[in-house]
């Protein structure tokens, strides 16, 4: 915490540095994905492993260079020589007066005067915005929107986490080699990251530019996750590669969208408490899906040596149930989208416009 400083800024140049951090993160994810895939195809000699490791260290240290460059640009921009420049507004204030501009400005101001109806609507929206921003955890729990979001996350995060918890055992039952199973677990982390990054990025663009409500993306990702569970249940050759990509990306999207929706619906004042309360849905859903569904069914169908099971039937029924759970979460998220649609148009988009 001794390294943390509050840095006030209003410069648009910060965006390019933040984009540079994002580009580095995406580059590292792509690099690791390529290396993992190549290691399953070829056997790297020692010198190749050293080179790939050194290049990875370079990528991991590159954000420090971005920070140093940003600090230098800030120092240059805020240097004392910049303050010595004279403004024409200070030197010749009388030359800035324009009767034509003043008249047009008055005309625009006249037309922008709110009528009685629009003023009442604005006051209503302000009150609604204040009420939402002042919501605490007890007030939030008493709303239907809280429980709709909680149930949607329970279905999505629970079934997604149950998949990664059992992906090794699924691979063994389907006859995947050990190296492929280890790669699947590693690649899952990359799909999870891409889902978190892409889900937030795409939903931001669509919300700001097109006005689409963010809960609709929860419904879309849960519907897609349901398809991923069906792919895992099908058992065709290579199904775990396809299924893990779909489920991993959609699972990551849940963790990107849920905190943002929590802030937008319940406000930022008590966001930490409300967010972590909704996040309880992840371990609860994982326990129900992993232990009470997948584990219970696997124990009943296992008949091999050491209570093991081989074949597509070991997890087919489990993941068909997982697909149904994700689809139920999709319906719940769609109901949340319907309930918050008007709120997003009246409050959230207006809040974004003010910011």
Q: For residue range 299-330, list pLDDT tens digits in order.
A: 888 876 667 888 889 999 999 999 999 999 99
Cβ-defined contacts of 122-131 (< 8 Å, 24+): 125/346, 125/347, 125/350, 128/343, 128/346, 128/347, 129/347, 129/350, 129/351
Q: Give the model's pLDDT for residue 121.
A: 54
Domain final position from 53, 72, 91: 72
Residues 278, 195 share a domain:
yes
Residue 100 lies in a domain: no
| Residues contacting 108, CB < 8 A, separation 6+ | none
Q: ∠ CA 256-257-260 to the nearest 5 degrees?
A: 100
Q: Give the model's pLDDT for residue 71.
A: 83
Residue 176 lies in a domain: yes
Residue 41 lies in a domain: yes
Checking if the pLDDT of 99 tops 70, the result is no
Checking if the pLDDT of 101 tops 50, the result is no
Residues 309, 181 share a domain:
yes
For residue 98, the tally of other CB atoms under 10 A from its CB is 10
What average pLDDT does the segment 273-299 reach?
A: 93
Residues 19, 167 share a domain:
no
Residue 119 lies in a domain: no
Residues 155, 261 share a domain:
yes
What average pLDDT does the segment 130-157 reach?
A: 87
C-beta separation of 31 from 186 below 8 A: no
List the domain range (segments joined by +) for residue 188. 136-354
Residues 151, 36 share a domain:
no
Note the pLDDT tens digit of each residue in 52-86: 999 999 999 999 999 898 888 878 876 654 455 55
Residues 197, 307 share a domain:
yes
CATH code: domain of residue 265: 1.20.1250.20
Interatomic CA distance for residues 151 and 307, integer angstroms = 34
Q: Give the model's pLDDT for residue 12.
A: 65
Residues 60, 162 share a domain:
no
Checking if the pLDDT of 88 tops 60, the result is no
Residue 98 lies in a domain: no
Residues 273, 165 share a domain:
yes
Residues 54, 164 share a domain:
no
Checking if the pLDDT of 100 tops 70, the result is no
Residue 342 lies in a domain: yes
Residue 40 lies in a domain: yes
Note the pLDDT tens digit of each residue in 260-271: 999 888 988 888
Confidence of residue 244 (pLDDT cuts 50, 70, 90): very high
Residues 144, 64 share a domain:
no
Give the number of domains in the chain: 2
C-beta separation of 214 from 257 below 8 A: yes
């Amino acid at each position: 915490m001794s390294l943390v400083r509050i840095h006030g800024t209003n410069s648009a140049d910060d965006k390019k540095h933040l984009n540079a951090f994002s580009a580095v993160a995406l580059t590292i994810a792509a690099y690791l994905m390529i290396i993992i895939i190549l290691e399953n195809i070829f056997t790297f000699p020692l010198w190749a492993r050293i080179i790939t490791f050194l290049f990875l260290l370079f990528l991991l240290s590159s954000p420090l260079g971005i920070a140093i460059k940003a600090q230098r640009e800030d120092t240059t921009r805020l240097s004392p020589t910049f303050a010595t420049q004279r403004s024409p507004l200070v030197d010749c204030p009388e030359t800035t007066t324009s009767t034509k501009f003043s008249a047009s400005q008055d005309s625009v101001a006249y037309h922008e005067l709110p009528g009685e109806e629009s003023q009442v609507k604005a006051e209503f929206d302000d009150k609604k915005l204040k009420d939402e921003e002042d919501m605490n955890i007890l007030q939030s729990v008493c709303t239907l929107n809280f429980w709709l979001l909680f149930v949607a996350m329970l279905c999505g995060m629970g079934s997604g986490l149950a998949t990664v918890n059992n992906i090794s055992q699924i691979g063994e039952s389907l006859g995947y080699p050990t190296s492929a199973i280890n790669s699947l677990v590693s690649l899952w982390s990359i799909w999870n990251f891409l889902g978190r990054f892409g889900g937030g990025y795409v939903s931001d663009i669509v919300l700001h530019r097109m006005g689409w409500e963010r809960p609709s993306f929860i419904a879309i990702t849960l519907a897609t996750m349901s398809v991923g569970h069906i792919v895992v249940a099908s058992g065709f050759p290579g199904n775990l590669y396809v299924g893990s990509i779909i489920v991993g990306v959609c699972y990551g999207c849940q963790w990107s969208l849920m905190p943002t929706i929590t802030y937008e619906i319940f406000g930022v004042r008590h966001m930490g408490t409300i967010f972590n309360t909704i996040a309880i849905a992840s371990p609860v859903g994982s326990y129900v899906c992993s232990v009470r569904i997948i584990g219970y069914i696997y124990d009943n169908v296992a008949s091999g040596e050491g209570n093991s099971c081989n074949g597509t039937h070991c997890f087919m029924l489990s993941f068909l149930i997982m697909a149904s759970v994700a689809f139920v979460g999709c319906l719940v998220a769609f109901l949340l989208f319907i309930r918050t649609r008007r709120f997003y148009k009246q409050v959230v988009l207006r809040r974004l416009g003010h910011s």
